[in-house]
Chain A
Amino acid sequence: MSLVDDLVVLRPEGLYCPPGDFYIDPWRPVERAVITHAHADHARVGHAHYLAAAPGEGVLSARLGAVDLQTLAYGAAIDHFGVRVSLHPAGHVLGSAQVRLEHRGQVWVASGDYFVAGAADDPIEANATCAPFEPVRCDCFITESTFGLPVYRWAPQRELFASIDAWWAANAAAGRASLLLGYSFGKAQRILAGVDAGIGPIAVHGAVETLNAAYRAAGVALPPTRLLTELADKADLKRALVIAPPSVQGSAWTRRLGDYSDAFASGWMQLRGARRRRSVDRGFVLSDHADWPGLQRAIRASGASRVIVTHGYESVMVRWLAEQGLQASAFSTEYGDEQEARTEASEAAAAPEANR
């Protein structure tokens, strides 16, 4: 397969489809951009025309404002300069999609970010706030690799949510608030959908509530939430679960909580070093990305003989895939945190809400 036939190549602006003359999640302004999902590092302002999956319309508008956006139902296809483009669920956040490209008998899929269930056939294990990851057969699969190391293996979600519930219930019994930090788009809603809302009232930061509204408008069932400022009764606060973005850690915003225990929800919490650097009482390993077994499973399910690895542990994944007999290479993208910068980004309290 020669380079000229490749359906996606790397350009300074981003991942580019030469026959279709459009980009996928470009990081510099372009004429046409297909957007896999609305996280800031994938969906940027400044492009002339956007194409995204229909369920993501609300969250995309909430993040980008008024842009020239065309949407496509999952599985529906359009034809652009002879390239057949369709979008398929990625299980990452509401509206997240894998981009399938078909041209002259060749099929390529760009994954964007994706989450696959820990236990393959267990619907409880899927991301409850969006359509589950759907394997798409292809010749070449472009995969993320955020957690592309064999130490990243997620425990079953019911165990994880049980431990969050237990922490919250113990705090409530002791009369202190439970501050759970997580990115306001995707992670926060996943927590809301997963916890036992019977334990106590749930309050959220304003940044979270904006996204909650978009999720509810798209028909995602979330338990009732109130802004922290609306939780007037002190007794309620002492039993409350409070969900806020990581940037509030150590800020004046937390003062109104009184006595509280704090926790952080992220895949990075798998490792002790990251947990300790975070300096919160608890770290809950909850990720919207595939773990190591999940990455392997998704790659295998694609049936692709060629794999291109993006943002994360590219070199590790490429070497591992090559050992499995696949044709593997990497694209150096500007998504997420580059491997070198991962540590800072994962620990910096003021980090932008990237794709974690």
Chain B
Amino acid sequence: MKAFARLFDELDASTATGAKVEALKRYFASAPATDAAWAVYFLAGGKPRQVVPTALLRALACERAGIAPWLFDEAYQAVGDLAETIAHVLPPAAVPSDVGLAEWVEQRLLPLRGTEPLAQAERVAQYWDELDAGGRFLLTKLIGGGFRVGVSKLLVQRALAEVAGIDPKLVAQRMMGYTDAKQMPSAARYAQLLAAAGEHSPGDSGQPYPFFLSHQLDLPLAEFDAKLGPPTDWLVEWKYDGIRAQVVKRAGRVWVWSRGEELVTERFPEIVALAQALPDGSVLDGEVVVWKDGGLGSFNLLQQRISRKTLTKKVLGDAPVGFIAYDLLEWAGVDRRAQPQVERRQLLEAALAHAPGLQLSPLEQRAGWAELAQLRESSRERGVEGFMLKHREARYGTGRTKAEGTWWKWKIEPLRVDAVLIYAQAGHGRRASVYTDYTFAVWNRTPRDAAEAHDAIEAIAPRAVPQPDALQLVAFAKAYSGLTDEEFRRIDRVIRATTLEKFGPVRSVRPTLVFELGFEGINRSPRHKSGIAVRFPRMLRIRDDKPLAEADTLQTLEALLGAR
């Protein structure tokens, strides 16, 4: 654990890519393979399910530290991270040890699951007593299933590749599915990652390929021709709002992998049934969507579908899924990723002739970018997010690289609303103790004038019960992204200076700030006070120029609902 804790500290402390890769290489070069196998698992985002409930960890930490729960909570508010709070409140280790990571996980942590609470508490307390603050922090993160570290999978792959002297892309491919919960990391699996080229191939397994990710296109239309060339150089497709997935057909079996490298085959029996018709040695890239009555269903429906654990007849009937294929990575058992996009497209069309139930992502062709831009305006009605632009010559790259060619996402502009900040809460991690998570409101109707808006705001502090027809602010969205650190600091100061009341970690403020919020979608929701739920809300800018009385209203939101 000490070696892994040191690696974590080095990765956590540094922002320089080179330093991170060096730290990873030092670790991989010296760690026993059994430990390194688990290190790769955690660094690549693997999360074992939570083995001990948070409430038990918290109560146990209070008991061991000899402090009252309220005092623990005060500390937690300042720290902003439960595992870190626990790590620091406990007394120093009484019986220091240096047990390896694999033993920690396999012999100690995983057996905790399902153990009765008293025995769990006893063992966790013993474990804490063997570690310093850094080790405890990690242990508690691992127990709680909340481990995260500031290193990308690409860097881990690069470090492994440099240690083994092989191509990082090969490591990337071998690592696909490594973090899937159904298979435990082991020295043997770790050795497979590092084996020389040609020694291990995914031929007879369900292993997918690393996903190729797209880049946001932020370019004025006028510059499209100059920067991108004519539209005929590109394959233009709609950008679907579903779940990115790979469908693998090999050795008579079908596997479905999500972009999070989770094996999701069992959740989508419809896709498995359709993909059985593909010949062995086929791998498709595409989007899982709700496909109903011969058309695209909403993302909302898809979300309802994936939140269900058991697939009853009703669930399958309400939200049947389909697969829209847009790329082909393997055909006839041969890796096709180095072939140009346009060739892969032809092969894809041929492949889907075998499995007609799978949808082919249609191509859109227009004379110029302006015509395409006009067509893009219909995205919201179609239930899609805009266009994907894929260069005819693009190879299929690994991750968010541009080396192999580029995929652009040309998304529609977000919906926008000017809203008023009414509540704030401190963030977590590096935003601990800074107010960064905000609740926004709109007016229930248009204020008659600035004076009426002023009176409505003055009525908030004394918690006056408003008249039924009175002007009020209605909460409708939470957002915590989109501002720079400096802007957050400025807003944090305003929040502290305008606080009306504190409810635990939440503060209500006397409204003084208007923000332009952007969001991707809008739906009715009986669960929200405003009756409206927005999708992926974020702050676009602070509207210092906008008086409170000119913020938007519920009617603005209604109009957006109607427009879709």
Contacts and interface: CB of A to CB of B under 8 A. Distances in A.
A276 interface: yes
Interface string A252-278: 000000000000000000111111110
Interface string B87-114: 0110010000000000000000000000
A273 B13 contact: no
Contact of B430 (A151, A276, A344): A276
Interface in A156-200: none
B26 interface: no
Nearest to A276: B430
A162 to B, nearest CB: 14
B433 A282 contact: no
A51 interface: no
Given A151-B89, A340-B496, A342-B433, A272 B81 contact: yes
Interface stretch (B69-77, B326-334, B409-417, B437-445): B69-77
B496 A273 contact: no
A151 B493 contact: no
Given A150-B89, A151-B78, A281-B14, A273 B429 contact: yes
B432 interface: yes
Contact of A271 (B12, B14, B84, B489): B84
Query: Could you tell me the dominant secondary structure of chain A's interface residues?
Result: helix
A58 to B, nearest CB: 36
B15 interface: yes
A101 to B, nearest CB: 31
A320 B71 contact: yes
A273 B88 contact: no
Give the residue among B15, B81, B432 with the most A Cβ atoms within 10 A.
Answer: B432
A149 interface: yes
Interface string B36-76: 00000000000000000000000000000101101110110
B75 A343 contact: no
B13 A150 contact: no
Contacts of A149: 74-75, 78
B434 interface: yes
Contact of A151 (B15, B79, B92, B489): B79
A316 B432 contact: no
B85 interface: yes
B75 A271 contact: no
Interface string A315-356: 010011001000000000000000011111001000000000
Interface of A: 149-153, 270-277, 279, 281-283, 313, 316, 319-320, 323, 340-344, 347
Given A273-B80, A273-B81, A320-B71, A282 B496 contact: no
Contacts of B12: 272, 276
Contact of B433 (A150, A281, A320, A343): A343
A69 B78 CA distance: 40
Nearest to B493: A344
Given A271-B78, A277-B485, 20 more contacts: A149-B75, A150-B67, A150-B75, A150-B89, A151-B78, A153-B92, A271-B88, A271-B432, A272-B429, A273-B79, A273-B429, A273-B432, A277-B430, A279-B15, A281-B14, A319-B70, A341-B496, A342-B433, A343-B434, A344-B493
A270 B134 CA distance: 11
Give the residue among B68, B81, B88 with the most A Cβ atoms within 10 A.
Answer: B88
Interface string B1-24: 000000000001111000000000
B492 interface: yes
A345 to B, nearest CB: 11
The 10 closest A-B pairs by CB, nearest first: A273-B432, A151-B88, A276-B430, A343-B433, A150-B89, A151-B75, A149-B75, A316-B74, A273-B430, A340-B496
Contacts of A319: 70-71
Contacts of B68: 323
B431 interface: yes
B79 A271 contact: yes
Nearest to A149: B75
Contact of A313 (B15, B74, B89): B74
15 contacts: A149-B75, A151-B85, A153-B88, A273-B80, A273-B81, A275-B13, A276-B12, A277-B485, A282-B13, A283-B13, A313-B74, A320-B71, A340-B496, A341-B496, A344-B489
Nearest to A282: B13
A32 B222 CA distance: 72
Contacts of A276: 12, 429-430
Contacts of A275: 13
B431 A270 contact: no
Nearest to B495: A340
Contacts of A274: 432
A282 B19 CA distance: 13
B75 A281 contact: no
A270 B80 contact: no
Contacts of A270: 88
A273 B427 CA distance: 10
A273 B433 contact: yes
Contacts of B88: 150-153, 270-271
A17 to B, nearest CB: 32
A275 B89 CA distance: 18
Contacts of A342: 433
Nearest to B88: A151
Contact of A150 (B65, B429, B493, B496): B65
A153 B85 CA distance: 12
A272 B138 CA distance: 13
Contact of B13 (A152, A277, A281, A316): A281
A282 B14 CA distance: 8
Contacts of A341: 496
B490 to A, nearest CB: 10
A56 to B, nearest CB: 32
A272 B133 CA distance: 12
Contacts of B85: 151
A35 B365 CA distance: 80
Contacts of A277: 430, 434, 485
A341 B434 CA distance: 10
Contacts of B432: 271, 273-274
Interface in B109-145: none
B424 to A, nearest CB: 13
Contacts of B65: 150
